[in-house]
Amino acid sequence: MPASVEPASRGTDLADREDVIRTSDLTKIYTGTDFKAVDSLDLSVHAGEI
């Protein structure tokens, strides 16, 4: 883990933290199938959450 990343402390308002990973309407369909492994995923991960 990089030393520059600090874990979020309890009580921190994560809505004010910067997104480090963000997806909007992400869909994953495997080649050769019509199976949706992921369907319309919206996801935000803020600094310190993982």
> 24 lies in a domain?
yes
**How do the pLDDT tens digits run along the chain, 50 residues long?**
556 656 656 556 656 778 999 999 999 999 999 999 999 999 999 999 98
pLDDT at residue number 41: 98
> 32 lies in a domain?
yes
For the entire predicted model, the pTM comes to 0.57
> 3 lies in a domain?
no
pLDDT at residue number 49: 92
- Domain count for the chain: 1
Distance CA 47, CA 20 (A): 6
pLDDT at residue number 13: 66
Residue 16 backbone dihedrals phi, psi, to 5 degrees: -90, -5
Residue 24: which domain range? 16-46
DSSP 9: P
